[in-house]
Amino acid sequence: MAGRDSSTPGGGAPARVLAVDVGGTNVKIRSSDHAEIRKHPSGLELSPGDMVAAVRELAGDWSYEAVSVGFPGPVLDGAPAFEPANLGKGWVGFDFEAAFGAPVRVINDAAMQALGSYQGGKMLFLGLGTGLGSAVVIGGRVEPMELAHLPYRRGGSFEHYVGKGGLQRLGAKRWEKHVHRVVGALKHALLVDYVVLGGGNAKKLEQIPEGARLGANANAFVGGFRLWGVETE
């Protein structure tokens, strides 16, 4: 499973997990023992230190023993592999555990939402947002993927057609046709049982592709809890 091999004091699953979903517009948090979702604006100037400070202030009246961070970019060996395009600098090499003062697992944000959307079998998650997030979950194990930039047609990638730019360039009807084609092609190529569509633009589909269902952004928090073996209702 993606995420650093951190453990909680005493071993076993932590009693309370803080899940952090870092986005280009907002940083959202939820605790495994609180239903409330709290948020703080992010943006192009947000550094990881700023993010941690904001999260610690937001969660000041919550107790937690471990933290999950959904990061908007590739994650390698439990740490950001590249600086994010829509945030500030300093994410690569940042010591999240020292900053939070607790064990931390970092995972790609699409993979975290995928893990929270999982209902058995072999599942493909596609996040229809600014770009195209992707992950596969098998037997409860999540494998982040980078399908967005694979060639699709006429020299363009999957993301070029079904990301936010494709929606703006093609219009809603043509964009939706490509979403159906991309879902069908990837479902067939990866031999998955079903597809979950997340991201802000998934709600703009008039018809859901065959073999797919809509996810929910709140599933990202469920995935963050599951990273530590914690299940919530």
For residue range 28-37, list pLDDT tens digits in order.
999 999 999 9
* Residue 71 lies in domain: 17-112+220-226
Alpha-carbon gap, residue 49 to 37, rounded angstroms: 21
The domain total for the chain is 2
Please, which pLDDT band fits residue 14 given cuts at 50, 70 and 90? confident
Query: What is the tally of helices (H) and strands (E) in the chain?
Result: 7, 14
Establish if 10 belongs to a structural domain. Answer: no
Q: For residues 112 and 220, is the Cβ–Cβ distance under 8 A?
A: yes
The yes-or-no verdict on residue 164 having pLDDT over 70 is yes
Establish if 7 belongs to a structural domain. Answer: no
CATH of the domain at 101: 3.30.420.40
In this prediction, residues 2-13 reach a mean pLDDT of 52
Establish if 88 belongs to a structural domain. Answer: yes
pLDDT value of position 129: 87
3-state secondary structure of 160: helix
Among the listed residues 119, 169, 125, 165, the one whose alpha carbon sits nearest the alpha carbon of residue 144 = 125
Q: Are residues 137 and 190 in the same domain?
A: yes
The yes-or-no verdict on residue 1 having pLDDT over 60 is no
Q: Are residues 66 and 136 in the same domain?
A: no
Alpha-carbon gap, residue 129 to 118, rounded angstroms: 19
Q: Are residues 70 and 156 in the same domain?
A: no
Q: For residues 182 and 191, is the Cβ–Cβ distance under 8 A?
A: no
pLDDT value of position 232: 84
The yes-or-no verdict on residue 148 having pLDDT over 50 is yes
**Which has the minimum average pLDDT: 3-7, 171-175, 191-195, 219-223?**
3-7
Please, which pLDDT band fits residue 58 given cuts at 50, 70 and 90? very high
The yes-or-no verdict on residue 47 having pLDDT over 70 is yes
Mean pLDDT score of the chain, rounded to an integer?
A: 93
Establish if 81 belongs to a structural domain. Answer: yes
- How far are the Cα atoms of 5, 50, 176, 222 from residue 90, in angstroms, in the given order? 22, 10, 36, 27
Quick one: what percent of the chain has pLDDT higher than 70? 94
pLDDT value of position 35: 94
Please, which pLDDT band fits residue 4 given cuts at 50, 70 and 90? very low
In this prediction, residues 124-129 reach a mean pLDDT of 94
**Which has the minimum average pLDDT: 10-24, 88-102, 141-155?**
10-24
